[in-house]
Amino acid sequence: MLPEVATNILKASSIRLFATNAARATSQTAVNRMASVTERKKKPTEEAHINFKNAYRDDSKFGKRPIYLDMQATTPVDPRVLDKMLPFLTGLYGNPHSSTHSYGWETDKEVEKARKNVADVINADPREIIFTSGATECNNTAIKGVARFYGKTKHHIITTQTEHKCVLDSCRHLQDEGFEVTYLPVGTDGLIDLEELEKAIRKDTCLVSVMAVNNEIGVMQPIEEIGRICKKHKVFFHTDCAQAYGKIPLDVNKMNIDLMSISSHKIYGPMGIGALYVRRRPRVRLEPLINGGGQERGLRSGTLAPPLVCGFGEAARLIREEFDDDQAYIGKLSSKLTNSLLSLPYTQFNGSKEHHFAGCVNVSFAYVEGESLLMALKDVALSSGSACTSASLEPSYVLHALGADDALAHSSIRFGIGRFTTEAEIDYVISAIKERVTFLRELSPLYEMVQEGIDLSTIQWAGH
- Give the pLDDT confidence score for residue 21 in this predicted structure: 47
Residue 4: pLDDT band (50, 70, 90) is: low
Mean pLDDT of the chain: 87
Confidence of residue 310 (pLDDT cuts 50, 70, 90): very high
**What is the pLDDT, as a whole number, of residue 44?**
42
Task: Tell me the pTM.
Answer: 0.86
Query: 211-243: per-residue pLDDT in tens?
Result: 999 999 999 999 999 999 999 999 999 999 999
Output 63 or 337, whichever has higher pLDDT: 337
Identify the pLDDT of residue 115.
98
As a whole number of angstroms, the distance between CA 172 and CA 166 comes to 10
Half-sphere exposure of 144 (CA within 13 A, CB side): 20
* Statement: residue 327 has pLDDT above 90: yes
CB 158 within 8 A of CB 207: yes
Q: Identify the band that residue 60 occupies on the pLDDT scale cut at 50, 70 and 90.
A: low
Q: In the chain, what are the domain boundaries?
A: 86-321, 323-453
Q: Flag whether pLDDT at 173 surpasses 70.
A: yes
Higher pLDDT, 188 or 455: 188
Report d(CA 142, CA 173) in Å as an integer.
Answer: 13
Q: Do domains 86-321 and 323-453 have the same CATH topology?
A: no
Distances (CA, A) of 48 to 1, 39, 150, 425: 72, 19, 59, 10
- Higher per-residue confidence, 33 vs 349: 349
Positive or negative, the CA dihedral 117, 123, 125, 128 is: negative
Q: Residue 108 and residue 114: Cα distance in Å, rounded?
A: 10
pLDDT digits (tens, 9 = 90+) for 339-369: 999 999 999 999 999 999 999 999 999 999 8
Give the C-alpha separation, 132 to 300, whole Å. 7
How deeply is 345 buried, as exposed, middle or buried, from its count of CB atoms within 10 A (0-12, 13-18, 19+)?
A: middle
CA distances (Å), origin 315, targets 76, 249, 284:
11, 16, 27
Asked if residues 154 and 204 have their Cβ atoms less than 8 Å apart, the reply is yes
Worst-scoring range by mean pLDDT, 182-196, 270-284, 303-317, 449-463? 449-463
Q: Tell me which of 47 and 131 has the higher pLDDT.
A: 131
Q: Which CATH number fits domain 323-453: 3.30.70.1140, 3.90.1150.10, 1.20.120.450, 3.30.420.40?
A: 3.90.1150.10
Give the range among 143-152, 183-192, 241-250, 370-379 with minimum mean pLDDT. Answer: 370-379
With a cut of 60, say whether residue 43 has pLDDT above it: no
How many Å apart are CA 276 and CA 129, to the nearest integer?
6
| Cβ proximity of 280 and 128 under 8 Å | yes
In tens, the pLDDT along 106-130 reads 999 999 999 999 999 999 999 999 9
pLDDT of residue 305: 97
Give the separation between CA 302 and CA 320, rounded to whole angstroms. 28
Angle between helices 323-342 and 306-321 (to 10 degrees): 80
**Weakest mean pLDDT among 41-55, 305-319, 333-347, 410-424:** 41-55
384-411 pLDDT tens trace:
864 444 445 577 899 999 998 888 888 9
Show which residues are catalytic. Answer: 388
Contact 312, 142 (CB under 8 A): no
Q: In CATH, which of 3.40.640.10, 3.40.50.920, 3.40.50.620, 1.20.1250.20 is domain 86-321?
A: 3.40.640.10
Say if residue 304's pLDDT is above 60: yes
Nearest C-alpha neighbor of 366 from the set 440, 263, 272, 277:
440
Chain centre to alpha carbon of residue 49: 30
Identify the CA nearest to 367 among candidates 433, 443, 463, 435: 443
Q: What is the mean pLDDT of residues 58-85?
A: 87
pLDDT digits (tens, 9 = 90+) for 140-160: 999 999 999 999 999 999 999
b/e string for 116-142 if b means 16 or more Cβ within 10 A? bbbbebbebeeebbbbbbbbbbbbbbb
Strands 360-365 and 347-349, by their bridges, are antiparallel
How many residues are there in the chain? Answer: 464
Crossing angle for the helix pair 306-321 and 79-90, to the nearest 10 degrees = 160
Give the model's pLDDT for residue 33. Answer: 45
Spatial separation of the C-alpha atoms in residues 377 and 251, rounded to whole Å: 39
pLDDT at 176: 97
